[in-house]
A and B are shown apart, each in its own frame.
Chain A
Amino acid sequence: MRIKLEKRREPSKLMQVVTPIASVLLTMLVGVVVFDLLGIDGQRAVIDIFVTPLIASYKWQDVAVKAAPLIIIALGLSIGNRANVWNIGAEGQYIIGALCAAGVGLAAGAAGGPIIIVTMILAGIVGGSAWASVPAALKTRFGVNEILSSLMLTYVALQVLSYLVGGPWKDPNGRNFPATAPLQPDQTLPILFSGTTVHLGVAIAVVLPFLFWLLMSRSVFGYQVRVVGSAPNAARHGGFDGNQTVWLAMLIGGGMAGLAGALEFAGALKAINLGFPSGYGFTAIIVSFLGRLHPIGCLIAGIVLAVTYVGGQVAQTTVHIPNATAGIFQAMMLFFILASDIFVRYRVRFMPSAKAAVQPAAGE
């Protein structure tokens, strides 16, 4: 018996839904085995990482606050990934977005209120887009690979942050600790439920996927992105400009990352220090793939990844494994989802004999 792959005419809708769920379950299963082999209570670790944050109601707010930036960034990245525009510098755009919001906050001094908050958020979006516009310009003007340029700019953004919080923006009352002064209370995002840390950004992260869904399914832009990504030649014949798609994908990706950075700053952290870059920009790439580049998928996948972050902290105290262990699980999920892509694009046939395998795949 041999295995044969037949290319599907269209990606399997069923597999697009089944494979992410299977990836998460497989990750949990493999996690138990691997951790037991390493001499760690695998069952306990997996339960703590994947289940405890969901059943312990006091962890829900942590999950919500962590999921928000992941969902928002992943929404923007999904558009690029669909159009084969690879923005892997979302982490840098997230940082610059937060810095722009902080700049507005610092410039506003003691002034607060909705206008300041809205300006901060807009500054974040503009900042993130501006940072992403560099790879977009280099790509469309000179053909520079956007994967490398957006990635390199992330490391530049890290240094900009380090410079600002350690120098011009350092809190004079901060006992020489490199961080900005904390935001004025009326410059921070409103809390949705009193007594929790759930801020307005969480609501934005819940609403945005549905807006993106409309955008992608109902607008010419959504159609353009899908055509440019799946059939670049047809797109050219159809009059869709590849450069325009690159620009839009990068600007939206950067804008969303910048928005996430501004919300994280104004909603959750309220000050920027060297620990601000949290890898959300990179993890959002996992979210985008686990969510199958679909807005609602990103919403669900963002929550799953947020659970692993919170669960990783739980496991750190219960089974004494380092925080980075959550990263192993996140990477495994991504490995499985990428590997299972083959089931989306191909039909797997088990051929009883070599003779049958030679037959052309007619009548698919």
Chain B
Amino acid sequence: MDFLIAAIITIVGISTPILLAGLGELVVEKSGVLNLGVEGMMLVGAIAGFAATVLTGNPWLGVIGAAVAGALAASLFGFLVLTLNSNQVATGLALTIFGTGLSSLIGLSFVGRIVPQFGSVFPPELARDPILKVIFGYSPVVYFALVMVFVVGWFLKSTRAGLILRAVGENDLSAHSIGYSVIGVRYAAVAFGGAMAGIGGAYFSMVITPMWAERMTAGRGWIALALVVFAGWRSGRLLVGAIFFGVLMWMELNAKAGGLAFLSFAQYIPSQFWAAMPYLMTVVVLTLISMRDRVGLNAPACLGKPFVPAT
């Protein structure tokens, strides 16, 4: 039982940053933009959130700082691909390289600093209870991420703004011709994606390992990208996928530490297998959905294509 509780708490924790970044990227991709800079934006958010919390002493301001920094980094990407029509794939990679370097540089003066922690959201007795802490024992960021799953799903499905955003991603020329600002919508989506990735990154430096280390997001930005594809661009499935990926990451952690002895076959499977699974599964799922129904593939039709209005 203790083992199960510990497992659930770990899995929820490691799923949260990829869920946050994945939700942001989902909205970005729904608007027709492919931003491969998630890892870079997460790292920028990680150091910004950490720095803002250390300097102000308030973790809430840290999260806001991470969101703003992530959105700013994303806006740099947005300016290049939306205003200057630069190549999205290359610009996204540039953003990741940039974010990695910038966060290392800014992070230099924060190595070894201690970051103030969030108080608990619920009455502390609930979070201390050995069983109830599975529900009440998380950082506020975790609950925020869960709420955002529904907010993003509701926004895309049921609001007028969400409809416009999807229209822009499916057929930018039509959306443009009936008077919507394709570039404006995409800027907003890209900035939102950056803010979410920033908060996801801050979850690493403020909650998971409350300290700053270079490249501490350790490739989770790429997993978030994989997650969006895995989920077939649907927010509900994104939550399921995030937990599934979380389980795989937990398997990896435990295989490394030799903690999977309860699975008789686990001793024959190297930890690298579990580490590779999220990526392999993504390729497999991507192939399956492409095989089953090429047209029904939920990928936005304009994904990654620059918007060039007819003159």
Contact = CB atoms under 8 A, between A and B. Distances in A.
Interface of A: 38, 86, 88, 134, 138, 142-145, 147-149, 151-153, 155-156, 159-160, 162-163, 166-167, 282-283, 285-286, 289, 321-332, 334-335, 338-339, 341-342
Interface of B: 34, 36, 76, 80, 84-87, 89-91, 93-95, 97-98, 100-102, 104-106, 108, 214-215, 219, 222, 225-226, 229, 270, 272-273, 275-276, 278-280, 282-283, 286-287, 290-291, 294, 297, 299, 304
Given A142-B291, A159-B273, A152 B226 contact: yes
A339 B283 CA distance: 32
Main secondary structure of the interface of B (DSSP, over half): helix
Contact of B272 (A145, A152, A153, A162): A162
A321 B107 CA distance: 11
A330 B225 contact: no
A324 B100 contact: yes
Contacts of B275: 159, 162
A335 B287 contact: no
B129 to A, nearest CB: 38
A232 B270 CA distance: 45
B84 A342 contact: yes
A163 B272 contact: yes
Contacts of B273: 159, 163
Contact of B90 (A144, A285, A324): A285
B276 A335 contact: no
Contacts of A334: 90-91, 93-94, 97
9 A-B pairs closest in CB distance:
A327-B101, A331-B98, A328-B101, A324-B104, A338-B86, A159-B276, A159-B272, A334-B94, A163-B272
Contacts of B282: 148, 152
A138 B288 CA distance: 10
Given A327-B98, A339-B86, A167 B270 contact: yes
Given A138-B283, A289-B87, 7 more contacts: A142-B294, A148-B226, A286-B94, A331-B95, A334-B93, A334-B94, A341-B86
Contact of B94 (A142, A144, A335, A341): A335
A348 to B, nearest CB: 12
Nearest to B77: A335
B261 to A, nearest CB: 19
Main secondary structure of the interface of A (DSSP, over half): helix
Contacts of B86: 338-339, 341-342
**Residue from B36, B100, B215, B286 with most neighbouring chain A CB atoms (10 Å):** B286
Given A152-B280, A159-B273, A167-B270, A328 B102 contact: yes
B94 A338 contact: yes
A285 B90 CA distance: 7
28 contacts: A88-B36, A88-B89, A138-B290, A143-B294, A144-B283, A145-B286, A147-B304, A148-B283, A152-B226, A153-B279, A162-B275, A163-B273, A282-B97, A285-B90, A321-B108, A322-B104, A324-B101, A326-B101, A327-B101, A328-B101, A331-B95, A334-B90, A334-B93, A334-B94, A335-B76, A338-B90, A339-B84, A342-B85
A285 B93 contact: yes
Contact of A148 (B214, B276, B286): B286
A324 B215 CA distance: 10
Nearest to A333: B94
Contacts of A153: 279, 283
A150 B215 CA distance: 22
A133 B229 CA distance: 21
Nearest to A339: B84
A159 to B, nearest CB: 4
Contacts of A338: 80, 84, 86-87, 90-91, 94
Nearest to A326: B101
B219 A155 contact: yes
B290 A143 contact: yes
Given A148-B225, A324-B214, A339-B86, A331 B291 contact: no
B286 A149 contact: yes
B286 A144 contact: yes
A179 to B, nearest CB: 15
Contacts of A156: 276, 279-280
Contacts of A332: 98
Contacts of A134: 283
